[in-house]
Amino acid sequence: METNRSYGEFAAVYDELMTDIPYETYVELVMTATGGLRGKRILDIGCGTGLLSVQLAKQGADVSGIDLSADMLAIAEKRAQAHSLPVKFVQQPMQQLAGFTGYDAAVIAIDSLNYLQEREEVLSTLHNVHTALAVGGTLLFDVHSTFKTDVIFMEGPFTFDNGRIAYIWETEEGEHPHSVYSELAFFIQEQHDTYRRFDEVHTQRTFPVHDYVNMLEEAGFSIERIFADWEDLAPDEESERIFFQVRK
Examine residue 230 and state whether it is found in any structural domain, yes or no. yes
Identify whether residues 67 and 160 lie together within a single domain: no
Residues 63, 90: contact at Cβ < 8 Å? no
User: In terms of residue numbers, what domain contains 82?
Assistant: 8-145+207-247
Q: Residue 223, by phi and psi: left (phi above 0), alpha (psi -120 to 50) or beta?
A: beta
137 and 162 together in one domain: no
Residue 14: the pLDDT is: 84
Q: What is the pLDDT of residue 6?
A: 41
Chain segment 19-75, per-residue pLDDT in tens: 889 999 999 999 999 999 999 999 999 999 999 999 999 999 999 999 999 999 999
Long-range contacts of 208-214 (CB under 8 A, 24+ apart): 208/146, 208/178, 209/235, 209/242, 211/119, 212/143, 212/242, 212/244
In a domain, 1, yes or no: no
Please indicate, yes or no, if residue 87 is contained in any of the structural domains: yes
Claim to verify: residue 179 and residue 241 sit in the same structural domain:
no
pLDDT tens sequence across 211-236 = 999 999 999 999 999 999 999 999 99
In this structure, what CATH number is given to the domain that contains residue 80?
3.40.50.150
Quote the DSSP letter at residue 99.
S
Is residue 192 assigned to a domain? yes
pLDDT tens for 83-113 read: 999 999 999 999 999 999 999 999 999 999 9
Q: Are residues 59 and 34 in the same domain?
A: yes
Same domain, 17 and 99: yes
Dihedral of the CA atoms 56, 16, 149, 142 (nearest 10)?
A: 0
In this model, does residue 240 exceed pLDDT 70? Answer: yes
**Sign of the Cα pseudo-torsion (155, 4, 47, 178, in order):** positive
Percent of the chain clearing pLDDT 90 (strictly above):
87
How far, in Å, CA of 85 to CA of 69, rounded? Answer: 21
Mean pLDDT, all residues of the chain: 94
d(CA 123, CA 121): 5
> For 9-19, what is the mean pLDDT?
83
